[in-house]
Amino acid sequence: MKGNRIAFTIALVTLVIGFVLIDRGRDDTILRLTQSLADTDWTAAVRDTRPDNSRAQRMKGPRAGSRLTAQEVRHLLSTHNAARAEVGASPLVWSDSLALYAQEWADHLASTTIRLEHRPHSGRWKQKHGENLFMGTAGYYGVADAVAAWENEKYAYHGQAIDMSNFYAFGHYTQLIWKNTKSLGCARAENGGNMIVVCNYDPAGNIVGHTPY
């Protein structure tokens, strides 16, 4: 699934997701591993598309740090924390600095490629946190759909420790519910008809040899 991904109709939409795996057994190297799929049957979650022209309402809730609206921030936090509550993990708090970090990478991806790539493990864009990625057709998918796609991987996870052979099936979900993760920051960007969502997590999850809870 490398190369350009183009949505021709609303019936044929693009869904691409990626996550970071951390191998603590190999000198803390963050492995850049991307899982991709094109799904013509995946149904987007229903989104609230009602306009909000109230400045006072827009100012309520947590500050974004990125270009997300307050409503999107609240939804990202609530859906993450609902999934975490199911497994007894403590709720995440929103981090403006993580959201800004996510926005920088989302903008970089939108300006340079329509392919999902994780931050590298060195250099200017060095990865410092856990990371989940999502890309879908703009106007059809939203940030709510990113979390729904990641959480849907729970059906493939059965409590096993993370290793190099099994994480592809559920790595987004296990990062989402990782018990030691405390903070969340997300962002979105658009380019060429695609919407990119980046969520960063601190401390990072998906540590080889460990379970998320």
Tell me the three state secondary structure of residue 15: strand
Which backbone phi and psi does 98 adopt, to 5 degrees? -65, -40
**Cα–Cα distances in angstroms (integers) from residue 108 to residues 64, 103, 114, 135, in the given order:** 19, 8, 10, 14
CA atoms 173, 34, 123, 30: torsion sign? positive
Q: Where are the beta strands (DSSP E) in 54-182?
A: 93-94, 130-137
Q: Report the chain's mean pLDDT, rounded to a whole number.
A: 76
pTM: 0.73
Q: List pLDDT tens digits, range 176-198.
A: 999 999 999 999 999 889 999 99
* Residue 197 amino acid letter: V
